Amino acid sequence: MFISTAFAQTAPAAAAEGGMMSSLTSMLPLVLMFVVLYFVMIRPQMKKQKEHRAMIDALAKGDEVVTAGGLLGKVTKMGDAYLSLEVATGTEVQLQRSAIVQVLPKGSIK
């Protein structure tokens, strides 16, 4: 009377299987966006950092350089983390090696 007859249901098993597939397909755009982000932004940035580190390691006395602040000068003294830059005759500035952004060809500064 008050209890109705229960019938076995086979649909949830099929839905669970389809649910697994739909969750994978719904994650696919997220994975694709991360892959595109890696190749468009992350990888080029890592390459640029590696090139900058190699340039900093290759610095030597007498190199003409440009700093992040826009100063042009010639490297006169070098340490592990700092270097001295001659910006004018008799005027030296001490700065961090990482502040160098570009090494100029010899004879660029007159």
- Nearest partner of 96 among 61, 45, 56, 60, judged by Cα: 56
pTM of the model: 0.67
The answer as to whether 4 is a domain residue is no
- For 14, the domain range is 10-58
Neighbours of 18 (CB within 10 A): 10
Measured distance CA(72)–CA(53) in Å, rounded? 20
Let me know whether 17 and 40 are in one domain.
Answer: yes
> Is 1 part of any domain?
no
- pLDDT of 3-60, one tens digit each? 777 676 655 554 455 567 788 888 999 999 999 999 999 999 999 999 999 999 999 9
Q: Quick one: 53 and 71 in the same domain?
A: no
Amino acid (1-letter code) at residue 107: G
Residues 49 and 84 in one domain: no
| Residue linked to tokens 């397909």 | 25
Tell me the C-alpha to C-alpha distance, in Å, between residue 12 and each of 16, 58, 81.
6, 66, 65
Examine the domain organization and report whether 53 and 66 are in the same domain: no
